[in-house]
Structure 1
Amino acid sequence: MLSLSHHDRGLLHLLVLLLLAAAVASRGDDDTYAVSACRSRPYLCGGVNISYPFYLASDDAKAVPDHDGESYCGYPGLAIICDGANNKPVLKLGDDNYTVSGIDYANLIVSLADADAAGAGNGGCPVVDHNVTIPPAVRLSLILHSVDYLFFFVGCSFGPEAEPAPKPPKPPTIKPITCGDMDKPASMTLVLPRGEVPPGDWSSACRQIFEVPVLKSSIPPDAQDPVWRKDGYGKALRAGFQLGWDRSSGGPCGQCEQSSGKCGYNRAGEFLGCLCPDGRVGDGGSCRSKGKTAIIVGIVAGTLFLCLGILIFFSARKYAWLPLKSKDEPRIESFLQKNGNIHPKRYTYANVKRMTKSFDVKLGQGGFGAVYRGNLHDGRQVAVKMLKDTKGDGEEFMNEVASISRTSHINVVTLLGFCLQGSKRALIYEYMPNGSLERYAFNRNMNSENLLSWEKLFDIAIGTARGLEYLHRGCNTRIVHFDIKPHNILLDQDFCPKISDFGLAKLCLNKESAISIAGARGTIGYIAPEVYSKQFGLVSSKSDVYSYGMMVLEMVGARDKNTSENSESSSQYFPQWIYEHLDDYCISASEIDGETTELVRKMIVVGLWCIQVIPTDRPTMTRVVEMLEGSTSNLELPPKVLLS
């Protein structure tokens, strides 16, 4: 049962809404006048047809002013300015202008290009000086399957080739843009596709770094080609990128569009009414209801609802049965508003039910809830994680949305969207057809032909290491995962590993080394000693290194059934046993294949270094990648005493 004071607040809220509805009905004529002036006439600008839900931001397409400000037909934020001087349509996102090159109303796609780059014509060396920011209120999102990225590194200066250096040395294959005054060292600017960006701390070498979406088809396989580097990247910028939008599915605008109407809003983004195809304003926000009879019915229904609300109020005071929103929802909503330019697309619970066909296909079940297979409107498969009623203050939900939304790496899973509606919470990820690493490398009962080969396991180990290195060093905000384990390593159709489940992650500034946490977090068997007790050292990114090492050693032990069934190894702490039998194990596991023996030895030695008890004795993930990519002849075993 809920307390009476909570019910009073919820019921008073309901009554206020009902009274507001009555007030809106009383001023219906004013709103009808405002939205009736909103005609959303199709308009041709630069060969682009501007139609609903876009609208022309010019005097002849605006409504007459009313007490709510000017009104328009179309979605908030989709005003297009027709630049008369250049005869080009321009859409404003945040503080930046983008030229509209086309709108596909059938597939709900708008094609944009940075206005400065588009204005450079066929020549010049355009340099982008901002990231693409889509305001939360604008119903547009990137079409991920068609997008790649160009990175602009501005004001770069590099250290000497020899190490160590305070700044990374300039890669010899990377050439700066030499255009205008761009050949001056102080203003050196580099442009690279995402796949061509070498590892390193670029933020210390360059004054600014901008990430710009472009069409994947505009980047050639060899982006170092001199011809492409001279003007090809400029063509890629002028070709632009694509955004998609969803039709309204709920609320008064959804009802309006389902009845073939167009939604009218005021400049504050508030829904005013529904403009019908015959020119009239739909009664009750829909084009289906007509005439005075509908108005009378609406007034009667409103009165009955008001009476019902009063009855509910007094009944609930006596019996206390009206449910409320979850107590942590306001805190999460506040967090999402403050980080509006970071988090991905938000879906309603109705959207989630539709994309999963009412949760028809379950992919898995965990302590957090269940995962279902679904499809977005463009046909892409997704995995929808429905979270249980969470305890605490919603920290895990906010962690997941905040941390993974800041990432973009081939070895980190992509969060495509989320749902927060009352007690319903969902996270929508790219679909991983091969499930988790646990399914392939740790299932004792599966057939031997389904076991992953040593080569594939090694590829998974090094891919996971690269993903962790990116989280620890490559993001604008450093991320420590705190729950690296086989279950959280997902595999795509090519068995490329992707780190997932950021519910326990911590965000920290780039210069931070130690991390403050409340209580141990993670999964037993993978948690670093310092997370349990401060006597082992400070909690830091080295805690992820320990979990990674335990996972790699478990991959080694689980891969060879003979070892797992050996009475000696099964009765002894496996890292200790493998340390004492390293050479014999590597030869037997690889069946005397020299290359495979080297892979197995690398995985074991790296795993043993990673699980050192003292955090400072463990390598960084950058060093782990170097060890895995290097030769075994340079790998030394760590001190044995630290394994006990």
Structure 2
Amino acid sequence: MVLKLMLQLISLLWLTKASAVAGSIAKHNCPEKCGNVSIPYPFGIGDGCYINKWFEINCNHSFRPILKSFNLEVLQVSLLQGTVRVNSPVVSRCFDPPRVVSGKNPRVDLRGSPFFYSETYNRFAATGCDNLAFTILNGKVIGGCMSICNVSGILANGCNGISCCQTQIPFRLQTFNVNITSTGVIDEQYGCRSACLVEKNWFSNSTWDYFMFHFPDQVRNVPAVLEWGIANGTCKLNQTTNSTASCSTDARCSKNGTDYYHCYCMKGYRGNPYLPHGCQDVDECAEPKTSRCDWDCINTVGSYRCSCPPGYFDMSSKKKGKYCTMSEFRGTRSQVKVVGLGIGIGVGLLFLLIASLGIYRIVKRKKNIKLKQKFFKQNGGLLLQQQMSSNEGSVEKTKIFTAKELEKATDNYNENRILGQGGHGTVYKGMLTDGRIVAVKKSKIVDESQIEQFINEVAILSQINHRNVVKLFGCCLETEVPLLVYEFISNGTLFDHIHDQSEEFPVSWNDRLRIATEVAGAVAYLHSAASIPIYHRDIKSTNILLDDKHRAKVADFGTSRSVPTDKTHLTTLVQGTFGYLDPEYFQSSQFTEKSDVYSFGVVLVELLTGQKPISSIRSQEERSLAVHFILSIKESRLFDILDARVVTEGGKEELIAVSNLAKRCLNLNGKKRPTMKEVAMDLEGMRMYQGNLPVQQNHQQVECYITETSGPWDACSTSTGYASLENSATSPLDTKPLLLNSSC
């Protein structure tokens, strides 16, 4: 009895000591807090209290923790998530009186450190009226968004483009500069404009709403989240001690890529996994939610075990104390009864196993049927059935593929089969059982608006039969995410061939004129020859593919809309890609067939000049290619901006004629633009009389045409922009459409 009491006392003392050690988050004799902020190791205050210089914390006289390497105030440290919340600087520019409140670019440089801005928890945000803010890295635009004026005067809820906009940031961003400018939509410059990198959940904060809208120049810092890890370490398992070499005993190591690692306490342990013996045993018996014992619970190191009370013995195979039986059944009954009991239990268990397998198969089959029905409804199957029943176009001809067919075609969606990735999903190359090579578009998990967009793309493509439009073979609706099956287009996008020309297929002037003619004919078909007129709504060079014979194929009808013949326009939320967006549509929210004409005009200028639709290399006034082109014609500099190959291979009168056609397409007044049918006929005529145009034109005549429309371009010179066009596109999905009424 005395020995038992001594053992219980020793166990109690050991658990008390372990609990005390487990409560420590900093190294021995090091401060655990600075003000109200806990500072766990590998961070530390004072010499020897941190793992390396990057994790050194200064606790100033105001008891505010400062991350010394970057002079950033620390708000919170999370070991579990591997993050640290800091105060990030805000850039503000005011016009009444004119001043830059927080400096032009209060830059935080994390390069060379194990810290980077989290793309999961942060967003780049801009506030104010008529504000176009860019993030710039190494002279290139890597992101940006536009906030427009709040004409209603009502405080916006969140950050959705009205007086405040937001967009995602690149992966592992460590430094950037901010450029705040006007969108050019309005001429007046008043109030303050701000831009910052901020924690995404901060938009719902009432303090943020009040100060950023009423006193933007007084907000100097906002919370942002940095991710971190331990660099130059190892996650190799020590076989002798069954613990990791870089983490605490009873901890495990998780490697993030090849750069750094994180430590986590193993199951049954709790504490700081970066400290020696920082992970301590958890008493599961003291936590009712984790204890599974019907009778007595006994805590063990890293786990627990169950036992039966005195007078009972455990009949369960794993001795978990689940089946406690009185001792009289143990060795006191006859051998026959014991054997009979064993046989009965065995037969019962066998019957139970057979019945369970049968029930499991039935339940699994019903579950799979219900799951397919759920996915069918979730992926817009009811909407597709509705369109099929109403006999709109030829939707009923669309083939419905099974999930198993497409898994086999894409080698179970092997990463080596990926053709491109973008905002709407991933495209895989596949081969059907009949030998056809296809492109399978696997959409991301979508909300209701994206489901409507997916079904809309099926309906639009099903009623189109044109040699210069990508053909839709069918779709699959019984998977978690919807799938579309297109014909495979082998030679990439027109954007790639214009801006990253290869020796295999140098885009000659004849090829450019032919491609422009083919695209114009396809869009004219959508507008005029289809059974129901169709507005594409996102014509751009990344949505024009080239097949093995370098013929143009118009693609990506996710935002396209059918238009009743008795209507002349669609009234929608402004949606499109900066650089190609019709200014008239941007102002009125009314999309007409002439809006597609404007976007085609930008593509035609790309073919003429070889320049990108938006470029930060040009002056702010001429950042838009359309504005740059129009001003060059006005100032008699047309041949200065044309591509060298175009000037060499094309005739002077021919180039002037095509430039004049592009200028007409870019007219600010949509009514003065030609129809796509007229554009297609003009281009076809130019190809027929190539080198011998019947009508001779010169610079003065082109300049004369621009006189009546040149004025308003100054006000719209920065109304469009698209950051990702600064980088080379590698696939048809690299460039995402930008919804001007919501987050990027």
Output the TM-score relative to the length of structure 1: 0.46
Rg larger in structure: 2
